[in-house]
Amino acid sequence: MISRSPSRFCRLHETIRPYERNVSSPARAHPTNALVGPLGTSSYPLSGAGPLVGLRLAVKDNICTKSLPTTCSSKVLQDYHSPFDATVVSLLWNNGAEIVGKANCDEFGMGSLNLYSVHGPVVNPFGLQGEESAAERRSAGGSSGGSAAAVAAGLCEAALGTDTGGSVRLPASYCGVVGMKPSYGIISRWGVVSFADSLDCVGVLARDIDTTRRVHDSLAVWDHRDPTAAPPHVRTRAKRVSESALEYLKSETLAGLRIGVPREYFPSELEQSVVAPLRSLLNQLRARGATIVPVSLPSTPYALSAYYVISSAEASSNLARYDGIEYGMRVEPPPGANFTKTANVYAYTRSQGFGREVQRRILLGTYALSADAFENYFLQAQRVRKLIKADFDRVFCIPSVLNSPSSPISAGPSEGVHVLIHPSAIRTAPALPTLDSEGNPEDGTDAPTSTLDAYVQDVMTVPASLAGLPALSIPAGTGADGWPIGASVVGQWGSDELVLKVGEIIERCRGDT
């Protein structure tokens, strides 16, 4: 067993300092492979003022930056430079943040273990210490694994990721950091390379709740360029309906705060070593006055299947733009190629430019949208999504302002809960497979043992994504193997501040143990 002493991250940070001073050295030289762009800030002058002054941040490589490459960790965009900054990038440096580089990720955000990247896999820094022979190579989670690993390794205080079905919360759990997915539409997606438009959110990863809140609040502003952004009057209404719950968190005790524990979030795949730290956390919250309420979300078992149908369908449409003609990589058809159909020309670029996982999801999504499968797969998945949202609305006592954006808000159920708490992941970080020269697992399978094993990693996180709810993963202890596990806090749409406040209490509970 590797030692888990508190000074381990300090020793790791000492090994990083010489690398930080040499901004001309490639970011991938660090053993985590967390950063893939130049580590330096000359292209982003510091504003000298704002709530983020003194914070170093990394930006996930699928968020556009005009002064750094935006590759989406894909061969098809390996040399792409965006002509503009994403809204969130502009807000970062306008508020005083120091942008240190781009973070590695799964190609186009498709993956749960950060294996599918043209830059190579991200290594979880929790296992990197001492002699190289003693290092334990495990996954940092995906798809925002580079963002989580950069924070955990001390390369930056915070990082931006994107969360489509858990891509911020899962890496946060594996790496032992805080990961926040906001309510859908609260943070602008303008300038974020699309994977699945109805699910994608820009999220924040940091070492603690205070830093997470500082970054989140600086980015949670309405952007007229984002058609999916929640308008100001809806944000105001959401804030107003959640204020009563915030009152419970201002006293010395948590009396009045009702926390739900969903029965369906303890599936057979869940490792038992994850349950004990969560049970201990719930006991601490109960001791502080909170009421713990078992709840049921009966549509949860169908969430994972619905998510992969919907997200793959949207991805197949979004990635159709990478055809080798407008921008990005182009592979010239060989002499004698059939030019009678444009698809024949596109195929050479797309076959070589897209990785195996992206190709798999394009095929799955294209089939789901075909005439033969549309009713049985895509429309059924959308019906399941509606049921999942209804499940959440039924258990929360805070009503959803999205159900009545302009009419009077009806109260939620009197016996409902303010937030839900459940495990962030079914296990601690899985081991990284040994890859061949082309970046594929040497045993010929998809990591960790099969494609389905990788997809199941998202089983705890996709319901909140399908419902567009704010969700926070916060360190909750360690598993039997000594590696981090996270607890997730989920709230009603627009209750982002309530979720962060509950996370702050959990952070204090952890500090008291």
Query: Known catalytic residues?
Result: 60, 143, 167
Instruction: Give me 260's structure tokens.
Output: 């739900």
Q: Which amino acid is at 347?
A: A
Cα 189 from chain centroid (whole Å): 14
Name 46's Cβ contacts closer than 8 Å, sequence gap at least 6.
Answer: 53, 93, 96, 98
Q: Which two tokens stand for residue 136?
A: 């334990």
Decide: 225 and 91 in contact? Cβ < 8 Å.
Answer: no
Give the phi and the psi of residue 249 in degrees, each rounded to 5.
-95, 0
Tracing tokens 């004990």 back to the chain, one arrives at 276
Does an H or E element contain 356, and which?
helix 356-368
- CA gyration radius, the chain: 22
CA 320 to chain centroid, in Å, comes to 24
Task: Give the sign of the dihedral formed by CA 146, CA 147, CA 148, CA 154.
Answer: positive
Sheet of strand 98-103: strand arrangement: 98-103, 56-60, 158-163, 201-206, 178-181, 471-478, 484-491, 419-423, 258-262, 291-295
Local structure of 29: helix, strand or coil: helix
Token digits for 94? 């306008």
